[in-house]
Amino acid sequence: MNLTPANITGLVLAGGRGVRMGGVDKGLQPLHGEALAAHVLKRLAPQTGPLLISANRNPEVYAALGAPFGARIVADTLAGFPGPLAGLLAGLRAAGTDFVLSAPCDTPGVPTDLAARLALALDAQQGDIATVSTTDSHGNVSIHPVFALLRTTLADDLSAFLDAGERKVRAWYARHKTVEVAFADERAFYNINSLQELADLERT
């Protein structure tokens, strides 16, 4: 497989409703003087070639955020904010590369070796999708499915899955050869779900 950064499109998923934040556009909330989505773009840019931002609101603001990185804006083709799979589909359709690396807009600590480690596992196991798992201090394993490296050839199957009314990320992954890659630092995948969590992180 030609899994070089140039053959991977980075995708920032910023198309959600932000319900747990009171309906605000989560990716545009400031952290240390920069929008959350900008933190994620900075982390993904060195790991990938082209960049995309999946956004269903404020496209002009996201376009300005993405401009320094050459990022393009894509929107869901399905109405009603159907979830991260719709954002993934938009990214898979828009990508001109063989692979897409996705990360949510509310995780400013995205690992700088995310693409390299997922690509290594995908190549070694000839998989279709590589995603992330972490283990906490109590031995509990968590899967972080929206951090993923996917083949763009999966777009048609994902479209059919969504057209059938399905919305669960892990249920779609189960249809394909999915590899889970263990990362030691669970904090890198910490996602901000409330304005209080954002304020707490601002103070660190």
Determine the pLDDT at residue 23. Answer: 67
Q: Which residues contact 52 (CB under 8 A, 6 or more apart)?
A: 9, 10, 11, 12, 71, 72, 73, 74, 90, 91, 94, 95, 100
Determine the pLDDT at residue 186. Answer: 87
Residue 9 has pLDDT above 70, yes or no: yes
Q: How far is residue 185's CA from residue 197's CA, in Å, rounded to a whole number?
A: 19
Overall pTM surpassing 0.85 (yes/no): yes
**What domains does the chain contain, in order, with CATH numbers?**
5-202 (3.90.550.10)
Determine the pLDDT at residue 143. Answer: 93
